[in-house]
């Protein structure tokens, strides 16, 4: 096979003499995507948070988490490529691993970024047809969802991701894109990353239609609803599946069905 050159989302150019066969994935949603592209047999290492598909962790070597990895375990796996994400993994991890292996870094903020990532994986791992088919399925599902959501009223929301301190999703991430897709106006959309919120002096809370409490990275539970409700008594507070809002890749197909169910509950 001839050499081929591809550039990742951070602008790093990679030259491959052959299709990478041994993959370490440090991004749970992208692990799921790799499996859905037919590459499970090529995955040799994953994180402890790579919970989809079910039982994958029993069949693969766990090399740590998304923020801290075991470099010796990774070295023992002799990977041809390591998959990372700008937001999920630290710059330190990426730089340390780059010294020894090709590290492909994705940066996903929008649905268009998601389509590009799937197409890139199709090229990177020579699974063009499966990548094209998956992107077509997502595009069809998006068209259907857009028709479903078209006449739904816009609701102003805040999306909580953390507690102690409380933190919410700002406007420069994939969660924000999913909120927009659902006709949810993100109350913190004009702020970057994940700003802290102090409920006691949060003046804008009275203007919200809904507060969403995500199941990850902080696992909000029913008991958290009453605590937040004491500060926001007139606002509807809903527990939501964080994977559906924050996981990219093939998860978007499941998320669109989930969003329809969520809309019916609001």
In terms of Cα–Cα distance, which of 184, 182, 174, 188 is closest to 209?
184
Q: Residue 217: which CATH number? A: 3.40.50.1980
Q: What is the structure's pLDDT at 201?
A: 79
255 and 156 housed in the same domain = yes
The 10s digit of each residue's pLDDT in 12-28 is 999 999 999 999 999 99
90 and 169 housed in the same domain = no
Parent domain of 156:
152-265
**CA gap 131, 122 in Å, rounded:** 5
Domain-terminating residue out of 141, 160, 191: 141
Q: What is the structure's pLDDT at 202?
A: 81
Determine, yes or no, domain membership for 146.
no
Q: Is the whole model's pTM more than 0.85, yes or no?
A: yes
134 and 159 housed in the same domain = no
Determine, yes or no, domain membership for 129.
yes
Q: What is the structure's pLDDT at 2?
A: 72
Determine, yes or no, domain membership for 21.
yes
Determine, yes or no, domain membership for 136.
yes
Angle at 158 between CA 198 and CA 222, to 5 degrees: 85
Is the Cβ–Cβ distance between 255 and 245 less than 8 Å?
Answer: yes
189 and 133 housed in the same domain = no
**CA gap 129, 109 in Å, rounded:** 25
Determine, yes or no, domain membership for 31.
yes
The total number of structural domains that make up the chain: 2
209 and 100 housed in the same domain = no
**CA gap 260, 83 in Å, rounded:** 31
50 and 29 housed in the same domain = yes
Domain-terminating residue out of 82, 108, 141: 141
Determine, yes or no, domain membership for 36.
yes
117 and 233 housed in the same domain = no
Determine, yes or no, domain membership for 219.
yes
Determine, yes or no, domain membership for 147.
no
169 and 212 housed in the same domain = yes
Torsion sign over Cα 255, 257, 260, 264: negative
The 10s digit of each residue's pLDDT in 70-87 is 999 999 999 999 999 999
Domain-terminating residue out of 122, 141, 160: 141
Q: Which residues of the chain have pLDDT under 70?
A: 1
Helical residues (DSSP H) of the chain, grouped into ranges: 28-36, 56-59, 71-77, 91-98, 111-124, 128-149, 174-181, 222-229, 242-246, 251-265
User: How is residue 196 annotated by DSSP?
Assistant: B
13 and 133 housed in the same domain = yes
200 and 250 housed in the same domain = yes
**Bond before 53 cis per omega within 30 degrees:** yes
Is the Cβ–Cβ distance between 179 and 211 less than 8 Å?
Answer: no
103 and 224 housed in the same domain = no
115 and 239 housed in the same domain = no
Q: What is the structure's pLDDT at 1?
A: 60
């Amino acid at each position: 096979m001839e050499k081929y050159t591809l550039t990742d989302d951070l602008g790093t150019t990679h030259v491959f003499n052959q299709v990478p066969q041994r993959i370490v994935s440090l991004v749970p949603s992208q692990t799921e995507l790799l499996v859905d592209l037919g590459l499970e047999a090529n995955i040799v290492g994953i994180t402890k948070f790579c919970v989809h598909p079910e039982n994958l962790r029993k069949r693969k070597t766990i090399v740590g988490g998304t923020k801290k990895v075991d470099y010796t375990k990774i070295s023992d796996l002799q990977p041809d490529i390591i998959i990372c994400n700008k937001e999920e993994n630290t710059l330190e991890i990426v730089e340390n691993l780059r010294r020894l292996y090709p590290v492909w870094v994705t940066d996903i903020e929008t649905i268009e970024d998601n389509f590009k990532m799937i197409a890139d994986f199709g090229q990177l791992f020579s699974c063009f047809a499966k990548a094209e088919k998956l992107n077509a399925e997502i595009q069809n599902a998006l068209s259907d969802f857009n028709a479903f959501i078209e006449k739904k009223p816009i609701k102003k929301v805040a999306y909580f991701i953390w507690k102690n301190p409380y933190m919410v999703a700002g406007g420069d991430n994939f969660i924000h894109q999913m909120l927009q897709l659902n006709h949810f106006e993100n109350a913190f959309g004009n702020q970057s990353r994940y700003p802290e919120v102090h409920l006691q002096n949060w003046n804008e809370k009275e203007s919200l239609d809904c507060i969403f409490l995500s199941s990850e990275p902080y696992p909000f539970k029913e008991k958290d609803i009453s605590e937040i409700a004491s500060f926001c008594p007139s606002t509807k507070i809903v527990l939501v599946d964080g994977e559906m809002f924050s996981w990219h890749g093939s998860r978007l197909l499941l998320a669109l069905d989930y969003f329809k169910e969520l809309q019916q509950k609001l």
